[in-house]
Amino acid sequence: MKHIVPMAVCALMVATSAFAQATADIDTALLAAPANLRDGATVIKWKPDFTYDTLRKGTNRLVCMDRSGQPGQQAFMIECTSVANLDRLAQNMKFETEPDRAKRQVALDAAEANGSRVKPEYGSVWYHVMGADRERARNHMTIAVPGATTQSTGLPDNPRQGGVWIMNAGTSTAHLMTPGE
């Protein structure tokens, strides 16, 4: 009986610690979520095999994650987007494991050319909080418009005119850049 109480206390301490860590992971992942979507957002944690665990099931279509330190990402990188973009994210992460930038770009271009590049959901927003660390992180937001061009949208394909513009026009990676912070 003497050993049961200490084991129970130890188990409770481990469970409490795990709960506190999960709560901290969720809170961090939600930093990029807009206030009006935060409470209903799903939170995931990516695994090395490009699948993920769901830390919190949401009630809306926003999914948030901490991608800090992953290949191709900044030291502090929090990202939220539509749940429809999870396949695109998994594919991006596979490409980002190639450390040679030129080789990675060749692989991306080949996937774009042969049609195997997963398209993001048209009109979906990508919210980011990113930087060297949490204290120096900045907000950044883009809107996915795969295939969009100046001709199809009337928006410029460069930032020279000021205002919103299409980056990577005409590709599956086309997105609206929103000047600001």
pTM: 0.83
User: Does the pLDDT of residue 41 top 80, yes or no?
Assistant: yes
- Predicted confidence at residue 68, as pLDDT, reads 94
User: Does the pLDDT of residue 14 top 60, yes or no?
Assistant: no
- Predicted confidence at residue 2, as pLDDT, reads 55
The mean of the pLDDT values for the chain is 89
User: Does the pLDDT of residue 9 top 80, yes or no?
Assistant: no
User: Does the pLDDT of residue 106 top 90, yes or no?
Assistant: yes
- Predicted confidence at residue 24, as pLDDT, reads 83
Residue 98 pLDDT class (50, 70, 90 cuts): very high
Number of neighbours of residue 89 by Cβ within 10 angstroms: 21
Cα–Cα distance, 29 to 23 (Å, whole number): 10
Min mean pLDDT across 8-17, 112-121, 131-140 is at 8-17
For the chain, the straight-line distance linking the first and the last C-alpha, in angstroms and rounded, comes to: 61
Nearest alpha carbon to residue 144 among 161, 163, 169: 169
Count of residues making up the chain: 181
